[in-house]
Amino acid sequence: MSDQRIPGPNEMDEQLGFEHENLEGWIPSLASEEEVRTALEKAFDYRGDVTLTLNSGEKIEGYVYDRKTASSLSESLIRMLPKDKPGRMNIPYSDIAAVAFTGKDTAAGKSFDAWVKKYNERKAAGETNIGIEAEELE
């Protein structure tokens, strides 16, 4: 049996070519269809709230939990849990004039590797009753 260290999830992502971006505060340009699609795909992957400005001028802040892509922007849509309204919303890509990554990225610094490091530090410091329970989100 080998003593090779197994890479953590972030290291495996990096080996596979995935890049972890800090999107908090980013306001992408939506000048082309490709930029719209890219920004909304990143909004789906983001673990914080985004603020969408619609063509009507209305602003909606919330969490993007799903998206449906199609051949046209009018047939593609974002599924969102609005921050200040009950229920869920479906918003066609074609209705979105701007996207801003306004909420705190709750996944930032929360990789499994970071958790293991913190666990080992606490264990080495003599703490007991440290388990695998997740920390509370702010």
What's the mean pLDDT in 30-39? 88
Q: Which residue has the higher pLDDT, 30 or 101?
A: 101
The CA distance from 86 to 135, in Å, is: 26
Residue 128 confidence class, pLDDT cut points 50, 70, 90: confident
> Hey, what are 32's tokens?
């082309």
Q: What is the pTM of this model?
A: 0.62
Question: Average pLDDT over the chain, rounded to whole?
Answer: 79
Give pLDDT tens digits for 64-81.
999 999 999 999 999 999
Domain 14-100 has CATH 2.30.30.100: yes
For 61, the 3-state DSSP assignment is strand
Please, what sign has the CA dihedral across residues 7, 132, 107, 55? positive
